[in-house]
Amino acid sequence: MVKAVVVDQPGGTPTVREVTLRPVGAGDVRVRIAAAGVCHSDLSLVNGTLTPQFPVIMGHEASGVVAEVGTDVTHITVGTHVVLNWATPCRACWFCKQDEPWLCSAVEGKVSADTGIRDGDETIYAALGVGAFAEEVVVPATDVVTIPDGVAFDVAALMGCAVLTGVGAVQNTGRVKQGESVLVIGLGGIGLSAVLGAKLSGANPIIAVDLSPEKEALARKAGATDFILSDPKISRQIRSLTEGRGVDHAFECVGHPATIRMAYGATRRGGQTTIVGVGSKDQEVVFNPLELFHFSRTLTSSIYGESDPEKDIPKLVEHLQDGNLDLDLLITHRVTIDGVPEAFARMSSGEGARSVIELDLG
């Protein structure tokens, strides 16, 4: 039996329950979770934006230590430190063969799955097929990425989702080059990771925008050269920072019509606006045909930072070890396994960046 954070119904309160994991199969590993980040997608599982099967164990952004390996697993040993990968591509579908693993058909739409977790006779589903807000998980060995022992578990956890997504949006989707101007709107874990990515790419200026003035210090620490409090009229301020043109690259990390318009309006003619935030299907963003033609901007999205975790997590580890990626600043709160409701409350009110659940490795 392991403790896990379970939500019973849409809008339900996350509560800790004891569940039984499936036995370790030939191709599986059992991972003792050390740290797990509370991601916006976890909140989306509860508030109706995503529609999982219930009851569901939340969590997908996590790190830990391999405690048991299946008989067919030869490349990972007990004691190996790993980051969980919730979007393992199948490497066989059309998209994977096109070298676009972040669009893998096998991963698309995977919100929850029956991975063999039970409470008595009751099936408990695992969020994104992972269910990482738990003392342990059993997953296919392909769902973990090995990291060096020296990497702290808390920042390693964030590499599994927020950092891949934010840094990847800038580096893989935007292909931001040295000296280009970057705007990031929305400074949660992903937005701050995008600022970190922009700094890694040598962007200048890096303009960060958020509703909360308390984000300024975090944004500047992450590498922002300028901070602007969100306002519908920010595009004038942004033009004044970019010789009147607007930014080469805007990254919208909110998923809201107003901030998408804000990002588009702040992008220079011929520049690129990238939607990173996940919005709802019940809202609309309006563009007029003349502006689409005249400004000649590329409007695109970045799914999972267009990352391939197996290749990109080791790159992030290198940047971390070289001192070029300060992931500690992303962690503004630490909680125990009971602390998910308070982490959700902070996320809803836009307070802080990531809350990380820390677990006892025993």
- Sites of contact with Zn ion (CB under 5 A): 39, 41, 89-90, 93, 96, 104, 106, 161
Peptide linkage before 205 cis (omega within 30 of 0):
yes
Name which of 90 and 113 has its Cβ closer to Zn ion.
90
- Least distance CB 91 / Zn ion (angstroms): 6
C-alpha to C-alpha distances, 361 to 32, 120, 193, 269, nearest whole angstrom? 7, 25, 27, 52
Say if CB 186 and CB 277 are below 8 A apart. yes
Name which of 44 and 259 has its Cβ closer to Zn ion.
44
Say if CB 1 and CB 303 are below 8 A apart. no
Other CB atoms within a 10 A radius of the CB of residue 34 amount to 22
Name which of 43 and 206 has its Cβ closer to Zn ion.
43
Which of 142, 144, 122, 140 has its CA nearest to residue 57?
122
- Least distance CB 106 / Zn ion (angstroms): 5
Sign of CA dihedral 90, 96, 101, 104: negative
- Least distance CB 162 / Zn ion (angstroms): 6
Name which of 161 and 234 has its Cβ closer to Zn ion.
161
- Least distance CB 299 / Zn ion (angstroms): 23
Q: At what angle do helices 340-349 and 40-47 cross, to 10 degrees?
A: 100
- Least distance CB 132 / Zn ion (angstroms): 10
- Least distance CB 98 / Zn ion (angstroms): 9
Sign of CA dihedral 40, 43, 49, 55: positive
Name which of 108 and 122 has its Cβ closer to Zn ion.
108
- Contact residues for 143 (Cβ-Cβ < 8 A; gap 6+): 84, 85, 86, 88, 129, 130
Round to the nearest angstrom and report the end-to-end CA distance of the chain.
Answer: 14
Q: Which residue has the tokens 């004038």?
A: 236
Name which of 161 and 337 has its Cβ closer to Zn ion.
161
Q: Do you know the residue count of the chain?
A: 362
- Least distance CB 218 / Zn ion (angstroms): 19
Distance CA 220, CA 216 (A): 6
Name which of 140 and 245 has its Cβ closer to Zn ion.
140
Name which of 104 and 325 has its Cβ closer to Zn ion.
104
Name which of 210 and 308 has its Cβ closer to Zn ion.
308
- Least distance CB 201 / Zn ion (angstroms): 22
Cross-sheet strand order for the sheet of 206-210:
226-229, 206-210, 182-185, 247-252, 267-275, 298-301
- Least distance CB 89 / Zn ion (angstroms): 5
3-state secondary structure of 73: coil
Name which of 60 and 81 has its Cβ closer to Zn ion.
60
Give the H/E segment covering residue 259: helix 257-266
- Least distance CB 30 / Zn ion (angstroms): 22
